Amino acid sequence: MELALSFEPTGAQHEQEMAFSNRDASYDGVFYFAVKTTGIFCRPSCPSRPNRENVEFLRTVKECIEAGYRPCKRCRPLETNGILPSWVSGLIDHIESDPSARIKASDLKTLEITPERARRWFQKHYGMSFSAWCRGHRLACAFTQIREGASLDESTFSTGFESHSGFRDAFSRIFGHPPGRTSDASRRLVTTVWDSPIGPLLAACNDDGICMLNYVDRRELEVNLENLRRHFDCAVVPGQHPFLAQLRSELADYFTGKLSSFTVPIAPRGTAFQEKVWAELQRIDYGTTLSYDELASRIGQPTAKRAVARANGMNQICILIPCHRVIAKDGRLSGYGGGVWRKRLLLDLEHRSRAPDGL
């Protein structure tokens, strides 16, 4: 593993080294350090200071677990709960305080943020550059303003666009229609990506409820966003929404064992059969499991085990529609879209009613 590290780009390696040396909490969730002599993995901000020669850097919780490391009981790296690094939350608050602002490299430097760091973080967590995120955020604000009755002039200039033609072109590229036709709330999905104790989660909603909550690796983020656009046939823009805020709060409580039932509205989209299966999944009690055979019987189609399994696998709202609670008839933890290791951690969390502090 040490040899592999030496082949990383010099900038990335130096960044990890500095974050490790400085115990920089803003890198928590960005990478982890694992200690070979103790077999544990930690956040970069962990107070423990092992000798550097005993440390290796890993990108994800999955990599740490598959390499045989267990989570540190001191810094509890599994309990990230979607909390943004302070510099990111401060930057987003700064942008949202003035939707018309165009953030330049000089503005970032004034906030003591390097443009490269912002680009890398937003590319990793949102699948787009920081400038593209800002543009999408401004257009999402404009969409909301127009839907609430604002004039074209108000929406154009209050979101930082300098001309009607430029605004119309940018709006039409994202939403597929000119701003004058914005009336249907379902014509856009608002998305965000959070870190969680079991890896990054992509969340999306419209005004009906949560439409997607799924695990996403960095290399798959852009594919997931494109699939979301095709499936819902509408624009997908980054931003904030009351349902996303509620979901984030409820997930934080879920991962610390304080919540066993979600109240945030959901808006799944599937066939009638799939939605029937997903509705039954939501009736499986917290902390319990069910076999595919039993699930098929519950929906009144005992011979449809394979169809039930396929519907289970097509679920796009993980955790809230708890397909992780369905196991093989013999008790094995059979396939799971997020990986069996995640399924095991979720079931362990629910069985013990608290966030896992070991494996």
Mean pLDDT (10-residue bins), the chain, 359 residues: 34 79 80 88 89 88 73 75 69 75 82 86 74 73 61 51 52 51 60 80 91 75 73 79 93 89 94 94 94 93 90 92 92 81 86 52
Q: What does the block give as tokens for 308? A: 């039930």
Nearest 10 degrees: CA dihedral of 272, 308, 231, 323?
A: 120
Active site residue 323: yes
Q: What is the pLDDT of residue 7?
A: 34
Compute CA 108 distance to the chain's CA centroid, rounded to the nearest angstrom. Answer: 24
For the question of residue 234 being annotated catalytic, the response is no
Please name the helix (run of DSSP H) or strand (run of DSSP E) that holds residue 283, with its range, or none. none
Q: Which of 42, 46, 72, 75 is catalytic?
A: 42
The Cα 149–Cα 173 span in angstroms is 21
**DSSP E strand stretches across the chain:** 32-35, 40-42, 55-58, 70-71, 188-194, 201-206, 209-215, 235-238, 290-291, 326-327
| Geometric angle at alpha carbon 313, from 228 and 255, rounded to 5° | 80
What domains appear along the chain, each with residue ranges and CATH number? 2-71 (3.40.10.10), 86-184 (1.10.10.60), 187-255 (3.30.160), 272-352 (1.10.10.10)
Enter the pTM of the model. Answer: 0.59
Q: Which of 72, 75, 318, 323 is catalytic?
A: 323
